[in-house]
Amino acid sequence: MIAKKDIYNDFSVIDLFCGVGGLSHGFFLEGIKVMAGIDSDKTCKYAYEKNNHAKFILEDISNINSNDINEYFLNKKKRILVGCAPCQDFSIYNQKNNKSGKWKLLKEFARIIEDLQPEIVSMENVPQLRNYEDGDVLNEFTDILSRHYNCTPEVVNAQEYGIPQRRKRLIILACKKDKGRIELITPNEFRLSGYKFIRNVKEAISHLAPIQDGQVYEKDALHRARKLSEINKKRIKATKEGGFWRDWPDELILDCHKEEKGKSFGSVYGRMKWADVSPTMTTYCVGLGNGRFGHPEQDRAISLREAAIFQSFPDSYEFINPNENFAMMTIARQIGNAVPVGLGRVIAQSIKKHIENSNYE
């Protein structure tokens, strides 16, 4: 009989829409072999391969078939297919303004699952997907899975799992019908596994060296903050911890906020609170005017490294290719789009627990 610790050697992972590897890194840290990640964004290649010891495949999912993907799984290994289809079109804003049809990528994900028939599947996305087009998009996806799999959709709050960010996510775990169900592990189980819970902003980033706006910390190129205009320097200095533009004197307030419809905009030009978790990291997470992304104490927006830490990437995670020029907002987009590494570990541990309790020999 195979010892439990050796069971995971029979499985390997392919990550669709992998980005810079937040989800893959969760599996990597949990000891499940990640073979490759597939994404159409070439800027993600360096970080993905450098940190996950897996191959980055530059390809649009719409142009790839199950046979192509199957070649990247190890021979005779049981297959785990995971991914997070780009979710901007399912956000609250884009539900009102959607014209691009990127939700079709979820259909492509379902097509690949149907053709490939991996042993285990995981899909992660925003909770708003449940309501998109009256739920038809998610229902179509789960209906396809249900032909061959037992699937368990669940909305989780990342901060309950020790991730220092206000972020809710929809997670679907699926396995073949003769293997029972995969249940998401509880926050307490995750804590008992040894994962270090971070409860607030102070525990997450207070160990980092102080920097000014426009400065790069000499020992970590990712610990850099955007340069502020003179007016925005005055605005951040006038903002108290946990506050926002209503703290300012009248001469600093934007005209749009003085209008009646703008008085309710409380989520911009804000500072974080030391004793609270961060707001949801977005693709604009290092911009002062794009949300509550001001540092709690220092007169600047958060740095790229701080944003990555709120996404539960290890401090040592490398995003910058030393041999190439890069744009700060490109990396901010990569970080904001990523699956938090901590949630990747939650998914991986849930799958490991399922494997231990099921007959996969």
Write out the catalytic residue numbers: 87
Distance from C-alpha of 319 to C-alpha of 47, rounded to nearest angstrom:
5
Distances, alpha carbon 194 to alpha carbons 204, 294, 355, in Å: 17, 31, 20
Looking at the DSSP assignment, which residues form a beta bridge with residue 78?
11
Residues written for the chain: 361
| Rounded Cα distance, 277 and 337, in Å | 18
Query: Tell me, what amino acid is at 32?
Result: I
Residue 80's H or E segment, with its range, is: strand 78-83
- At 36, list the tokens: 């490759």
Residue carrying structure tokens 């929809």:
170
- Within 8 A by CB and 6+ apart from 305, the residues are 208, 217, 220, 222, 223, 224, 315
Distance, in Å, from the CA atom of 31 to the CA atom of 49, rounded to the nearest integer, reads 16
User: How, if at all, do strands 78-83 and 11-16 pair?
Assistant: parallel
